[in-house]
Structure 1
Amino acid sequence: MRSNAASYQKDNYKIEYRQPEWKKRFVPSKIPRYLPGQVKKVVLLKDLKLFNEHRYKIFTAKPKIDCKPPHMPKARLLRLDKLNNDYYALKKISDENKKLMIKINTINRLHGLTVCFNPRANLHTTRWPAYEQKLKQIQVDNLKVYKRIMAKTSNYNTKLLNKQWKNNYERMTKQARFPFSIEVNKSLDAVLSEKPSISVIPISYSVRDAALRPRVFMEFSVQDYLPLGKIVFELYRDVVPKSVDKFLHKIDNIERKTFIETSFYKIIPQEYCEIGDHPRNIKKVNSIFRDSFPQENFALQHSRPGVLSLVPTESGTNNIQFSITFEEYRAFDGNRVVIGKMIQGYKNLLKIQDFGKKVGKPRYRVYIKNCGMASGHAINMRNTIFNNQ
């Protein structure tokens, strides 16, 4: 066995590299290519001999071209100067680690005083929970103050003040030389009542027959418990009776499958808002919006704010999902069945509008906290609905 040796001397250290040379040796095969008993033994040995001769020819074959690896200049490829620098850098790191291990060993044996806690290490993670708890406490305190303010009553005799004002107003009206008038700011509901009607068909409506125009209310909240106020709607049962009956069934359902806890999934400022299950959740078993029914008619129009209409499905039917317009929105005429209009709570509707975005997704969760029939309409309408089903 021969070997090649290469060595060089650096800093009184002599390094040698040895690489042994070995020669290939042919080993004939002893395993025949036929299975035992498949052929006679003479044929088996003859075939094994021919196979080994073929393998030997391949083993001893020499190439007709130069297939040796190219010459590798070690000095240029190995870069001994870089290797030496790495060697000294690693040696320095090793010496520092040894010193550190000696100090750690000394501390473990002698139990020296060590201060390894950094109070500012997790400051960014520990400060936020306290700040979040502080915000929640502020919210609870604000709610308590709000309830106390709402529970307070005036210390003045309001009936007496109103009577005195009425007498003073009549006296000033009689004594004035010119027509006397006082400018009074109208409420938003009064402004809403002056808007155009949603119906272009003259309908004879009697106040005594409240079943033709039932009224329902909805109380809205944002997030967990912050109230937004109540909105009252008047439903046109004399124009779209079937759609209104379906809607009233979800308003005051004895099985408690109502609109309560139902959220807005689209609020577009200056246009409209939609409430109900998101279209991708309607097919769920527990959804109250699964049952669909055909569209009734398009006799009523979206000619004012606060128009209540049903949102159509992809198949052209309705499923009690409804929308409320913030302004006059004629684009829905002929596409959505209008079932009523808002008569009270315009200010609260504008509050809901403030939680919307141009893309439609609400900034916070706005949902129905409570709903039902308005006073004076509950008993009659409940009997009317269930008798017609």
Structure 2
Amino acid sequence: MLRLLLCREISFQFRTRLPHGLLVYHNVKNPDRIDLDPYALYVIVEKGQLKVVHVFGKHSTSVTVGEGLNRDEWHSVMVRIDVHGARLIARVDNSQEEVYLKGLNHDTNYGVSTNLPSVVLVGGLSSEEKLHGVKYIIESFVGCIRNVVLSSGKAASDLLPITPLVATKHENVNEGCADKCYSRHNLCFVGSRCINHYYDISCDCFGSQYEGEHCDIFTHTMGRKTRSLFRASYHQKLMYKQHKEALSKISSAVDIGPPLIKKDVYLNIRGMRSDKFALRRIIKENIELLERLNRIRRTHGLSNSYNTRKRISQTKLHHVVRRIDHIESENVFLGCRLLKVKPMLSRSGLAVSARSSSVKFERSPISLKIREKLLMDQLLHPKVYLDLEVKNIRPLGRVVIQLYTEACPEIVLEFARSCSENKVHLFNFIRIFPGLWIEGEIAVKNRLLSRPNFQHDINIIRHEANSGILSFAKRYVNTGFPHGLFNFTVSFKPMPVLNGERVAFGELLAGHRVMACAQDYGTKNGKVKKQILVVHSGLKAYLGV
């Protein structure tokens, strides 16, 4: 029994001469009892290649690997389904391909929580499965299959074989994979080539001077006449002569002429005509829609628009013009003040009297806003991004992080500097604990981080607020970080137990699904199965006002 809740794998070896055939079929019995979407797994030889098809509900995922597999040679096959990572992996000999399973949920997988009995067919479909409406009807496999191993486990790295593995039914199956060309069934004469078809053999007489089913008839050419010398008795020669005469009088009872093709039925001329007019109508409507959208874009939706009542938001230009007017008014006021100022000393160097030098200034009604709220937010709460990738496999995506300077200024400054300068080689993720956090380190040259008692505030961010909290251990505040390394973690879930134990200095704004995918590459003891790299980093751009 293979459980849909677990990761599963099947491996075996096969050899064949035919380019098509069904190797393995897996299905669930009685899916209507728990309202399960249709599920099936096919491992097929198609056009000399291995093709794996995964069907779940309305989604179908397929992967093709290998070539030239029908040359009567042994090939090793491995097919694995990673339900937690939603991956389908297929390998033939030294070739491997990997795709993502469509329609599979990361949290609920196949949407079932109970064990379901399933059936695994090797070499073809039984009559019972054909009656239940299999989606792919494939020819039965003709060849040899050996060393079949079924494995399952909670994770792709913890698969264990299912033992004992006993077959319950045998239909048109013979144990052993003997080559009939090396048995007593080989009746081909010396000089011909025996071809093994597993269920029968045939003799290839090409290149020899013999013919017949077993290449036992010698043919000798003399001019235009051909003489046949039999290695048989008189009775056999007589039977062969009668057989040739009977073959010459045979007439075919099957009409081998080309079939009559009904053009209207096969070509569906009426349907093609209606499709033509429908296509013209759709193209015309699309052109009219594009013209309407272009008009709305040029007029900003002021006329002939669906959103005529919606207020048009102010653009960046409006803010810039208002800011310039404000600066010009301040410059005018400052110039007026400078014109009214009188010197404290005369040209002769004597002090000017207090009565003549007393000037009264009125307070400006316009206050100069040096520290605006948005500018301060950009400086104190910078946003950085990291583009993550699984080494030599696939990109994971981008995570956006907001840092809080008031939590720990030195740490935030060094983190933002490393990201803004795109120094991706300084980042290294060393441990991944699924369901806990991912631990990384940055190679830094700031000696201030190696000194103890640097400025920090442990209550800026609470760990139970959300997942994706960036933090470091509180003990580094008293001892300082090891020289040249800055260690930090990103949590996978809210963790109130860390309040007071770790200093949080940032949180994840976007990329929570990327962090969820990164958990699949960790283990219980934190060892990383596949290295996760930072391929690009930078400082998130702001819109100026």
Higher RCO (C-alpha under 8 Å, 6+ residues apart): 1
Identify, as 1 or 2, the structure richer in strand. 2
User: Do these two structures clear the TM 0.5 threshold for a shared fold by scoring above it?
Assistant: no
Identify, as 1 or 2, the structure richer in helix. 1
- TM-score normalised according to structure 2 size: 0.30
Q: Which protein is bigger by CA-based radius of gyration? A: 1
- TM-score normalised according to structure 1 size: 0.41
